[in-house]
């Protein structure tokens, strides 16, 4: 998308968006010509600035855009990141409904003082996504024509370099959210472990400060990664463990390591998923897609931290050689695991990946994102990711980033009770606790992972709900993948970089 800047609303702009809170409406602090245009509507209470309220006008006054869309933000003191995101999305949808391909967004100086104003831009850009990846012919052409191609940021005072930088960050990050969405939404016949490896290789080739290590089946066998290999046994596609290391200063500092679950298709294995639960399971690699998108953003923004993105990738399918309930697998860490359910495979491949990350990188922080449990959706719904871990400070930092991006997280319990339940009978551990049936599944999954992180400061995000949600927000595409977690992790890294100076 082309981005330009202006300090005036003018007649050359075909469609302009004016976000305004209730205070702006009451005080009439609009640009002079706009104030004259909207005064009657405000007096008649046809527009009050209430949340999600819109008013679209076709001005006849010279010097104003051909169409003007007012979008309400609600009471100024209650404006949140979520409201800004939804308002940006609502405004962009108004433009697309009117087949406007050139849009202006007015950001008054009083809004620019709010550090979260960029989420108006995020909401607009996240909505402007081509979701119909495989449509052809006239329908595809028409859908592509509905995309906005040009965005002009209009301000009443010149933008500072800091403001321009934030806008560039918004453009970069939302473009990579779209990248994650497209990866998640593509079929598993296309997005295989090898495909994800190729995506990582292209990224490392583009940036000298990014190095790639990709471990194939033979190397995983040599290293003794029996959990990844066990899950992979039923597939004809070989597994991968892919590691991207962003080290711009080429220093031996402790990195922040972000790990993503990369199950490129999850049938459930011999504990086969029923119809209705399997169809979207090409999206079970949302964690890996998030890692790739975050690492792309880190490189494009040149984040001044050492960041390692790592993901195990394999299918979980059925064949004569597939792993079975009652099998015992030996992990990279040496711990043995009884398989109680082959549909609890994500925690198995993550366990090997986490143990490898701890041993190889000795991380300052270790974070994993995984579409791990349906139980987390039962507990929290689709808007929240479950947050569990061993380090309070790390979880507080993630919560702070979450409050900025409106990618919501909620802490769930993780104590010795759950760890006891994951102890095995004939092996060290088991991957499920059948006596609890469907209870506390998110905490039990996290308790299993905890056995492989040692003393490392670790946080686990169960993104099963928000990454693949059916209950879409205004800025989510109508496809499987939402790209949840990309903006959250980028904001977390930015906050961490700012803290370290």
| b/e map 119-158, b = 16+ CB within 10 Å | bbbbbbbbbbbbbeeeeeeeeeeeeeeeebeebbbbbbee
* Residues noted as catalytic: 273, 347
Could you tell me if 139 and 198 lie in one domain?
Answer: no
Q: Are residues 78 and 194 in the same domain?
A: no
CATH number at residue 135: 3.40.220.10
Environment class of residue 378 by beta-carbon count within 10 Å: exposed (0-12), middle (13-18) or buried (19+)? middle
- CA separation for the pair 408, 205 (Å, rounded): 34
DSSP notation for 211-235 = EEEEE-HHHHHHHT-HHHHHHHTT-
Q: Are residues 250 and 394 in the same domain?
A: yes
The CATH number linked to 480 is: 3.40.630.10
Q: What is the mean pLDDT of the chain?
A: 94
> In terms of domains, do 115 and 197 share one?
no
Is residue 402 domain-resident?
A: yes
Residue 253 resides in a domain: yes
pLDDT, tens only, 260-277? 999 999 999 999 999 999
Side-chain-facing half-sphere of 244: CA atoms under 13 Å? 34
Same domain, 90 and 196: no
- Mind listing the pLDDT tens digit for each residue in 453-464? 999 999 999 999
Residues 137 and 28 in one domain: yes
Of 109, 125, 159, the domain-final residue: 159
Q: Answer yes or no: do 213 and 337 share one domain.
A: yes
Nearest to 295 by CA among 313, 307, 278: 307
Tell me, yes or no, whether 107 and 227 share the same domain.
no
Strand arrangement of the beta sheet that strand 336-338 belongs to: 328-330, 336-338, 429-430
Tell whether 428 and 475 lie within a shared domain.
yes
CA atoms within 13 A on the CB side of 24: 24
Whether residues 190 and 154 share a domain: the answer is no
- Do 245 and 106 share a structural domain? no
Distances (CA, A) of 198 to 133, 210, 297, 316: 20, 14, 17, 20
d(CA 225, CA 333) in angstroms, rounded, equals 8
Kindly state whether residues 216 and 144 are assigned to the same domain.
Answer: no
Least confident of 51-55, 348-352, 362-366: 51-55
**Per the domain annotation, does 172 fall within a domain?**
no
Contact criterion met (CB below 8 Å) for 203 and 291 = no
Classify residue 298: in a domain, yes or no.
yes
Of these ranges, 61-70, 135-144, 410-419, the one predicted with the greatest mean pLDDT is 410-419
Band (466; pLDDT cuts 50, 70, 90): very high
pLDDT level of residue 115 (50, 70, 90 thresholds): low
- In the block, residue with structure tokens 């000298």: 208
- Containing domain of residue 7, as a range? 2-159
167 belongs to a structural domain: no
Q: Give Cβ neighbours of residue 274 (< 8 Å, ≥ 6 apart).
A: none
| Cβ 390 vs Cβ 450: under 8 Å | yes
* 118: nearest Cα among 497, 494, 398, 409: 494
Does the pLDDT at position 282 exceed 90?
yes
Measured in degrees and rounded to the nearest 5, phi and psi for residue 46 equal: -85, -10
Q: Which helix (H) or strand (E) holds 19?
A: strand 15-20
- Per-residue pLDDT, averaged over 469-497, amounts to 92
Q: At what angle do helices 486-500 and 392-405 cross, to 10 degrees?
A: 120
**Stretch 389-397: mean pLDDT:** 98
Asked if the structure places residue 331 within a domain, the reply is yes
Of the two residues 379 and 250, the one the predictor is more confident about is 379
Residue 170 lies in a domain: no
Share of the chain above pLDDT 90, in %: 76
Number of domains in the chain: 2
């Amino acid at each position: 998308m082309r981005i330009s800047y202006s300090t005036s609303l003018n007649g050359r702009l075909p469609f302009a968006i004016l976000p305004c809170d209730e205070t702006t409406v009451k005080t009439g602090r609009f640009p002079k010509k706009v104030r004259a245009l909207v005064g009657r509507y405000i007096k008649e209470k046809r527009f009050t600035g209430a949340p999600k309220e819109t008013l679209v006008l076709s001005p006849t006054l010279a010097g104003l855009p051909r169409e003007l869309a007012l979008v309400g933000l609600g009471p100024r003191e209650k404006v949140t990141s979520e409201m800004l995101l939804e308002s940006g999305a609502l405004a962009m949808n108004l433009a697309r409904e009117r087949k406007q391909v050139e849009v202006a967004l007015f950001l008054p100086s009083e809004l620019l003082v709010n550090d979260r104003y960029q989420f108006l831009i995020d909401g607009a850009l996240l909505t402007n996504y081509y979701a119909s990846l495989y449509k052809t012919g006239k329908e595809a052409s028409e859908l592509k024509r509905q995309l906005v191609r040009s965005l002009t940021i209009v301000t009443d005072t010149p933008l500072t370099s800091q403001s321009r930088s934030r806008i560039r960050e918004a453009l970069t990050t939302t473009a990579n959210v779209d990248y994650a969405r497209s990866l998640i939404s593509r079929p598993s016949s296309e997005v295989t472990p090898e495909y994800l490896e190729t995506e990582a290789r292209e990224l490392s080739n583009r940036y000298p400060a990014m190095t790639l290590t990709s471990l194939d089946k033979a190397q995983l066998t040599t290293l003794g990664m029996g959990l990844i290999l066990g899950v992979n046994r039923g597939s004809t596609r070989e597994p991968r463990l892919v590691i991207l290391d962003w080290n711009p200063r080429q220093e031996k500092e402790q990195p922040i390591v972000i790990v993503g679950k990369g199950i490129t298709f999850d049938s459930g294995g011999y504990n086969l998923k029923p119809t209705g639960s399997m169809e979207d399971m090409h999206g079970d690699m949302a964690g890996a897609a998030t890692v790739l998108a975050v690492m792309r953003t880190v490189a494009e923004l040149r984040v001044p931290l050492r960041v390692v993105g790592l993901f195990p990738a394999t299918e979980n399918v059925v064949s004569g050689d597939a792993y079975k309930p009652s099998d015992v697998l030996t992990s990279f860490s040496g711990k043995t695991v009884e398989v109680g359910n082959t549909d609890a495979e994500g925690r198995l491949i993550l366990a090997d990946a986490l143990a490898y990350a701890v041993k190889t990188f000795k991380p300052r922080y270790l974070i994993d994102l995984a579409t791990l449990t349906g139980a987390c959706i039962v507990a929290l719904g689709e808007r929240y990711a479950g947050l569990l871990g061993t380090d309070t400070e790390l979880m507080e930092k993630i919560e702070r980033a979450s409050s900025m991006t409106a990618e919501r997280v909620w802490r769930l319990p993780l104590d010795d009770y759950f760890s006891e339940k994951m102890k095995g009978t004939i092996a060290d551990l088991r991957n499920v606790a059948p006596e609890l049936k469907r209870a506390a599944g998110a905490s039990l999954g996290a308790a299993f992972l905890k056995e492989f992180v040692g003393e490392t400061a670790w946080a686990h995000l169960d993104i099963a709900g928000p990454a693949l949600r059916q209950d879409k927000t205004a800025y989510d595409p109508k496809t499987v993948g939402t790209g949840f977690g990309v903006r959250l992790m980028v904001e977390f890294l930015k906050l961490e970089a700012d803290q370290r100076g």
